Every structure is written in structure tokens, then in C-alpha cells.
């Protein structure tokens, strides 16, 4: 008959809300969105601290201090808004998205206010709340003069902010709005990020969120993306706009009193999932994630739920950043009589961008010092003919090389204990300690740290 039941339903909810009748779970969240600006009552300082924390985690994960989560950067091409649960309970998805933005070379930012793209106005039928919440996000983008609003994977938030919000807020929106699913797909298509699908080999199926697929028509982009980031994609049936509900739609996840009914009606969903034989059900909606998690547990399915951002992040091929090479632009002289050690050190230093010259003994080392003028020298103490100690003494007395950083790389554990001898030697000759001392067998991290320190 062409009757839009959902619209009727929402209208009735809105009327009830205006006379003060609504489920407690929805009321609590709506109140937080009205009063605190986000649906989980997250305070601004906690939000900012969490972003800073994720930035630290990313920098240590990728060994790259240039990875940032920029807050309130003006004139960004992308302003990224999220679901508060990401910041309150599980910020891994924030870090994953940040890594993708970073490696795509995006000029992006997160706003310090107006960062919650969810909107309980959709659920409680209150257009005023819907308008107020959407307006906050729009104003954040405008305040920062952002070019585009990108929203993390939340079905109802996407629909509310992108499709319904301008009507509720009774205003035009002068910038583009995009789901992060589309953003990630664009990055891959444009070659801005590289992905390796062999990192995700477990069978994956895709659950269309009602708000993304049925309401907003986003059905092909997630599939195209999945085809690029995993090797074994299996469609579930029915799918797209005809897909079965996660059972958490319409705000039901915020209302515990409906949990038993949700789980009972989830039987058909569980069977649909089971029939795919997939190990991972991917979806693009935080609400679906939780509802699916509940029903998977209830019906004892052997499945995990993941958002697209997690699969894309795990498939991400991270380029070795040029400036991240620790020793870029440095010339290092390696003096060691053992060819294996020279090859080993050469490989390590070259990987870090250094130019490497080698010498098998002290005399050739001295010649290389004079002709090549390296920035740093590694020195083995136990050398044929002239010892490393002797060479060290010579160069420290030679004003041309007195300040040359030297890292001693030697097998101190030898029976004749050359470490003790070497220190005695330094004391007797009134020589300074070398800039670093590394014991064989060589620990790469210690070596690089010592070399880096010596070069400073």
C-alpha cells in the first residue's frame, strides 16, 4: 500500500516524547545529548585525553612520531566525527581511522566540540533534539572551515547527520558529508593507501545496516571495499535493503527491557549468519555490532563482529617513511675483521638509510677515515695486527677525528676480558669513553639506539 510505517512510528514517538513519555534508556541518552553534547556524557578533557592517548599508541605501534590526531586544525579537508562509544569504551577504531588518514596523507582533524555524530533525535522522534544535535556537528565543521565531514561507522548517526539533520535543523549545509566507508574506498581507488587482502583470510560476510542501506542507499561501497581488503567474502541472503535487522534497530539497544524479545526474534538472523559459513561478520554500524555480538553469543555461533575500518586497518600496507630511517644522510665506517659482522652491520645501517663503508683492519680503517670522512665509526677491539684500542687512541689524539662519534662493537665476553683491559687502557692513556659500547652478539635495537645517541 506504500505506507511508510517507520515514519508513522517515529511521528508517534515524537508526540509521546512531547508529553514526557519515553523508554528510560532512550530518555537518559537523549538527556546527555541535550545537556552534555554527546550521548555518553563524555567530558571534553576526557575526550581530548583519549585522543592524545591513541596518538601515543599509534606512534609507538608504527614507530613514527609524526602520526598525529590533530584537534581543531583549521581549514582541514576532512573533519572526522565519531560515535561516543568509541571514545568512552573502545578507542581502537579511532586509532585505526587515524592510521588510515595519516597514511593517506590526509589533511584531517577532529573537532574538540561537536564531535558526536550520533543522534537520538532519530530514535525518540524529537525533531528539536535531532536538529540541535545535528547543528552542533555542522557548526563544528563550519567553525574549523572544514571542507568535508567524514563520519565513522554508525548507521543511525550517518542517516541522522547526513540525510535527516538538515531538515530537523532547518538549515542548509554548505559542505560535503561522507561515510568513512566511502572515504576509505576513495583512498584505495586513488592509490592513497595500499592494502594487502592476504592479511584478512578468514571468511567474511557483510551485514547491511538498515540506516546505511535501506535509508541512505549505501550498499555497494562496503562490498567493493571488502573485495579489496579480504580474500574470502561471502554474501548473506537476503542482503542490501532486504537484509534482516540486527535486532537492535530503532534505539532498541539502549533499552534493556527489549533484550529478551530482541534475542528471540534474532533466530532468523542467526540462521542467516550461520548459513554463510563466515567467521567474521563485518558491518558498518556500531549499533549492529552490539546487537550481532549479543545474538552470536546467544545462538552460540562461531563468529566475530568487526567494523570495516578494522579490516581496512589490518590490511593496510604501511610504507617505510623515508625520514623515519634513523640514519638517513649519514655515512658510517664499519671496522671489523669478521666479514659476517661487517655484512650484518652494513645491512642494518643501510636499512636505516645510511651510507656504509667498511674496513677489515685498523690501518685500512684509518685510511678510510681520511678519505671518506664518515659521520660515525663502529670499532671492533680485537683486530689483527693493530688492535682497535690502538686505533682509538690514534684517532682521539688526532684533532681531525678527536670528536668523531665512535661506537665500540666488540666481543667483550672473550676469555681475556678485553672490556676490563679497554677501560684500563682508556684510563692509562687519559682517553674519553667511546660514544657507545655494544657487546656481541649484537642486539639491533641497542645498537641503533647507541648509534643514534652518538650521532646527536
Partner 1 sequence: MPTFEMGGRSYPVDEDGFLEDPQMWNEAVASDFATTEGVTDLTEEHWKVINYLRNYYLQFGIAPMIRKLCKETGFPLKHIYELFPSGPAKGACKLAGLPKPTGCV
Given the rule CB under 8 A, which residues bind partner 1?
Answer: 25, 28-29, 32, 39-42, 46, 49-50, 53, 57, 83-85, 87-92, 118, 154, 253-254, 256-260, 286-287, 290, 293, 297
Residue 41 CB, shortest distance to partner 1, in Å, is: 7
Residue 214 CB, shortest distance to partner 1, in Å, is: 19
Q: Are 288 and 207 in contact (CB under 8 A)?
A: yes
Closest alpha carbon to 284 in 339, 204, 352: 204
Q: Which one, 108 or 258, has the nearer CB to partner 1?
A: 258
DSSP secondary structure string for all residues of 129-142 = HHHHHHHHHHHHHH
Residue 339 CB, shortest distance to partner 1, in Å, is: 42
DSSP secondary structure string for all residues of 253-294 = GG-GGGHHHHHHHTHHHHHHHHHHT-SEEEES-HHHHHHHHH
Q: Which one, 88 or 147, has the nearer CB to partner 1?
A: 88
Burial class (CB in 10 A: 0-12, 13-18, 19+), 137: buried
Residue 381 CB, shortest distance to partner 1, in Å, is: 40
Residue 30 CB, shortest distance to partner 1, in Å, is: 10
Q: Which one, 31 or 197, has the nearer CB to partner 1?
A: 31
Residue 287 CB, shortest distance to partner 1, in Å, is: 5
Does the CA dihedral 393-397-401-407 come out positive or negative? positive
Exposure pattern of 35-48 as b/e (b: 16+ CB <10 Å)?
eebbbbbbeeeebb
Q: Which one, 71 or 455, has the nearer CB to partner 1?
A: 71
Residue 122 CB, shortest distance to partner 1, in Å, is: 12
Q: Which one, 290 or 351, has the nearer CB to partner 1?
A: 290
CA distance 81 to 285: 14
Q: Which one, 25 or 353, has the nearer CB to partner 1?
A: 25
Beta carbons within 8 Å of 112's beta carbon, 6+ residues apart: 44, 47, 48, 71, 72
Q: Are 148 and 275 in contact (CB under 8 A)?
A: no
Q: Which one, 136 or 396, has the nearer CB to partner 1?
A: 136
Torsion from C-alpha of 151, 247, 20, 121, nearest 10 degrees: 20
Amino acid at each position: 500500500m506504500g505506507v511508510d510505517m517507520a515514519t508513522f512510528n517515529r511521528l508517534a514517538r515524537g508526540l509521546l516524547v512531547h508529553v514526557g513519555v519515553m523508554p528510560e534508556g532512550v530518555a537518559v541518552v537523549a538527556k546527555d545529548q541535550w545537556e552534555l553534547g554527546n550521548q555518553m556524557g563524555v567530558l571534553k578533557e576526557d575526550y581530548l585525553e583519549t585522543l592524545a592517548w591513541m596518538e601515543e599508541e599509534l606512534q609507538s605501534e608504527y614507530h613514527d612520531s609524526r602520526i598525529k590526531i590533530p584537534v581543531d586544525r583549521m581549514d582541514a579537508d576532512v573533519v572526522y566525527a565519531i560515535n561516543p562509544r568509541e571514545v568512552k569504551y573502545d578507542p581502537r577504531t579511532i586509532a585505526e581511522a587515524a592510521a588510515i588518514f595519516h597514511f593517506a596523507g590526509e589533511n584531517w582533524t577532529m573537532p574538540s566540540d561537536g564531535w558526536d555524530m550520533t543522534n537520538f533525535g532519530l530514535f525518540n522522534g524529537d525533531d528539536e533534539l535531532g536538529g540541535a544535535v545535528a547543528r552542533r556537528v555542522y557548526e563544528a565543521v563550519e567553525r574549523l572551515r572544514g571542507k568535508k565531514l567524514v563520519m565513522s561507522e554508525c548507521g543511525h548517526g550517518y542517516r541522522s547527520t547526513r540525510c535527516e539533520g538538515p531538515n530537523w535543523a532547518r538549515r542548509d549545509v554548505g559542505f560535503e558529508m561522507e561515510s568513512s566507508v566511502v572515504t576509505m574506498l576513495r583512498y584505495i581507488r586513488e592509490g592513497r593507501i595500499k592494502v594487502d587482502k592476504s592479511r584478512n583470510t578468514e571468511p567474511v560476510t557483510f551485514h547491511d545496516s538498515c540506516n546505511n542501506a535501506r535509508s541512505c542507499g549505501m550498499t555497494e561501497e562496503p562490498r567493493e571495499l571488502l573485495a579489496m581488503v579480504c580474500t574470502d567474502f561471502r554474501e548473506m541472503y537476503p542482503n542490501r535493503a532486504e537484509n534482516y535487522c540486527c535486532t537492535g534497530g530503532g534505539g532498541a539497544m539502549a533499552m534493556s527491557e527489549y533484550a529478551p524479545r530482541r534475542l528471540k526474534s534474532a533466530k532468523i538472523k542467526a540462521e542467516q549468519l550461520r548459513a554463510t559459513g563466515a567467521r567474521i561478520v563485518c558491518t558498518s554500524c556500531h549499533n549492529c555490532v552490539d546487537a550481532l555480538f549479543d545474538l552470536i553469543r546467544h545462538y552460540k555461533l562461531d563468529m566475530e563482529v568487526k567494523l570495516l575500518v578494522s579490516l581496512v586497518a589490518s590490511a593496510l600496507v604501511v610504507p617505510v617513511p623515508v625520514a623515519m630511517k634513523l640514519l638517513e644522510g649519514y655515512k658510517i665506517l664499519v671496522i671489523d675483521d669478521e666479514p659476517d659482522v661487517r655484512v650484518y652491520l652494513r645491512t642494518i645501517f643501510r636499512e636505516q638509510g645510511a651510507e656504509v663503508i667498511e674496513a677489515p683492519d685498523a690501518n685500512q680503517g684509518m685510511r678510510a677515515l681520511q678519505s671518506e670522512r664518515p659521520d660515525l665509526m663502529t670499532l671492533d677491539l680485537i683486530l689483527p695486527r693493530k688492535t682497535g684500542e690502538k686505533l682509538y687512541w690514534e684517532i682521539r689524539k688526532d684533532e681531525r677525528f678527536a670528536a668523531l662519534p665512535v661506537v665500540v662493537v666488540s666481543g667483550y665476553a672473550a676469555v681475556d676480558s678485553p672490556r676490563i683491559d679497554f677501560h684500563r687502557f682508556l684510563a692509562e692513556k687519559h682517553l674519553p669513553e667511546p660514544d657507545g659500547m655494544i657487546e656481541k652478539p649484537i642486539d639491533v635495537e641497542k645498537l641503533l639506539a647507541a648509534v643514534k645517541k652518538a650521532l646527536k
